[in-house]
Amino acid sequence: MIHEQRDQTVKIASHNLFRRVILTGGGLAAIVMLAGCARDAPQDTFQPAGENARKINNLQTPVFIAAGIIGVIVFAIIGYSLWRFRDRGQEMPEQNHGKTSLEIGLTMIPAVILLIVGVATVSTVFALAKTDDTQCTINVTGQQWWWEYDYPAQPGCIPGGIPAPIVTSGELIIPTKSKVLLHITSRDVIHSFWIPRLNGKRDAVPGRDQTLRMEADEPGIYTGQCTEFCGLSHARMRMAAVSLEPTDFQTWMNNQLKAYKSPAESETLAKQGEGQFISNCARCHQVNGLTQTDPSTGAQTPVLANPDLYEVSGSAPNLTNLMTRTSFAGATFDLITPECRQRLYEAKPEDFGKIYLEGVTPDCFNATELREWLRDAPAKKPMYSNPADLGPTGGKYRGMPNLNLTESQIDQLVAYLMERR
Amino acid sequence: MFTTGSKLFLAGTAVSALAAVVWGITNGGPAGWLGTVGLISLAVAFALLFGITTFVRDCNVPGSAPGAATQSAAAQRPAGRSMWPAIAAVGIGLMTVGADTRPLVFKVGVVVLLAAIVEWMVQGWSERASSDPAYNATVRQRVAHPLELPLIGAAGLAVMIYSFSRIMLFLSKSNGPWAFIMVGVVILVFAFTFASRPSLRKGVIVGVCTIGALGLVSTGAVMAIGGQREIPKHPTVADDAYAQCTRDAATTEANPEYAEIEHRASQHVAAKSDPMAQVELRNGQLEVYIVGIAAPQKTLTVARGNIVNILFVNRDPGKVRLTAYAGTDVQTVNDTVIKRPRRTCTTLIGTDNEQMLNVVFPKASEATTADDPYTLTVPGLAGQQIKVVVP
Partner-chain contact B303 A307, CB within 8 Å: no
Is some CB atom of chain B closer than 8 A to the CB atom of A49? Answer: no
Is some CB atom of chain A closer than 8 A to the CB atom of B25? Answer: no
Partner-chain contact B367 A208, CB within 8 Å: no
Q: Inform me whether the pLDDT recorded for B319 exceeds 50.
A: yes
Is some CB atom of chain A closer than 8 A to the CB atom of B278? Answer: no
- pLDDT for A326: 95
Report the gap between the CA of B368 and the closest CA in chain A (Å): 10
Q: How confident is the model over A125-149, as pLDDT tens digits?
A: 999 999 989 999 999 999 999 999 9
Candidates A246, A173, A166; CA nearest to A214 is A173
Report the gap between the CA of A22 and the closest CA in chain B (Å): 44
Is some CB atom of chain B closer than 8 A to the CB atom of A394? Answer: no
Is some CB atom of chain A closer than 8 A to the CB atom of B322? Answer: no
Give CA–CA dist A225/A332, Å, rounded: 10
Q: In this complex, how many residue pairs, one in chain A and one in chain B, have their CB atoms less than 8 Å apart? A: 98
- pLDDT for B236: 57
What is the CA angle B136-B142-B148, rounded to 5? Answer: 115
Q: Inform me whether the pLDDT recorded for A98 exceeds 80.
A: no
Among candidates B275, B293, B306 on the partner chain, residue whose Cβ is nearest the Cβ of A314 = B306
DSSP letter (8 states) at residue A397: B
Report the gap between the CA of A225 and the closest CA in chain B (Å): 21
Q: How confident is the model over B138-188, as pLDDT tens digits?
A: 888 888 888 889 989 999 999 999 999 999 999 988 888 898 899 899 999
Give CA–CA dist B359/B356, Å, rounded: 10
Q: Inform me whether the pLDDT recorded for B252 exceeds 50.
A: no
Q: Where are the alpha helices (DSSP H) in B227-274?
A: 269-273
Is some CB atom of chain A closer than 8 A to the CB atom of B294? Answer: yes
Report the gap between the CA of B150 and the closest CA in chain A (Å): 33
- Complete DSSP assignment for B80-98: ---SHHHHHHHHHHHHHHH
Give CA–CA dist B84/B123, Å, rounded: 9
Is some CB atom of chain A closer than 8 A to the CB atom of B300? Answer: yes
- pLDDT for B256: 45
Candidates B164, B204, B207, B156; CA nearest to B184 is B164
Give B232's Cβ-side CA count (13 Å radius): 12
Task: Compute the radius of gyration of chain B from its Cα atoms.
Answer: 35
Q: Which of B365, B366, B369, B388 to probe the A interface (max A CBs under 10 A)?
A: B366
Mapping DSSP to helix (H, G, I), strand (E, B) and coil, where does residue A202 land? Answer: strand
Partner-chain contact B367 A304, CB within 8 Å: yes
- What does the mean pLDDT of chain A come to? 90
Partner-chain contact A208 B363, CB within 8 Å: no
Question: Who's near A357: CB < 8 A, 6+ residues apart?
Answer: A244, A248, A251, A252, A255, A324
Length of chain A equals: 421
- pLDDT for B226: 87
pLDDT over 90 percentage in chain A: 68
Q: How confident is the model at residue B253 (pLDDT cuts 50, 70, 90)?
A: very low
Q: Which of A101, A140, A209, A212 to probe the B interface (max B CBs under 10 A)?
A: A209
Tell me whether residue B213 is exposed, middle or buried, using C-beta atoms within 10 angstroms of its C-beta: 0 to 12, 13 to 18, 19 or more: middle
Give CA–CA dist B98/B113, Å, rounded: 13
Chain B residues 190-219 with a CB less than 8 Å from chain A: 196
Partner-chain contact B303 A150, CB within 8 Å: yes
Report the gap between the CA of A332 and the closest CA in chain B (Å): 22
Q: How confident is the model over B339-381, as pLDDT tens digits?
A: 778 888 887 888 888 888 888 888 888 777 777 889 999 988 8
Among candidates B270, B292, B301 on the partner chain, residue whose Cβ is nearest the Cβ of A134 = B292
End-to-end C-alpha distance for chain B, whole angstroms: 94
Candidates A279, A242, A285, A260; CA nearest to A419 is A260
Helices A407-417 + A268-276 axis angle, to 10: 100
Which residues from B are below 8 Å from A150, CB to CB?
A: 301-303, 391
DSSP letter (8 states) at residue A346: T
Q: Phi-psi bin for A289: left (phi > 0), alpha (psi -120 to 50), beta?
A: left
Is some CB atom of chain B closer than 8 A to the CB atom of A314? Answer: yes
Average confidence (pLDDT) over A280-300: 89
- The ipTM, to two decimals, is 0.77
Handedness of CA A41, A45, A48, A51 (dihedral sign): positive
Q: How confident is the model over B188-219, as pLDDT tens digits?
A: 999 999 988 888 888 999 999 999 999 999 99
What is the CA angle B369-B371-B373, rounded to 5? Answer: 60
Q: Which of A217-221, A271-275, A395-399, B326-330 is predicted with the least confidence, judged by mean pLDDT?
A: B326-330
- pLDDT for B244: 65
Task: List strands edge to edge, sheet with A220-225.
Answer: A171-175, A238-244, A220-225
DSSP letter (8 states) at residue A162: B
Partner-chain contact B305 A318, CB within 8 Å: no
Partner-chain contact B270 A315, CB within 8 Å: no
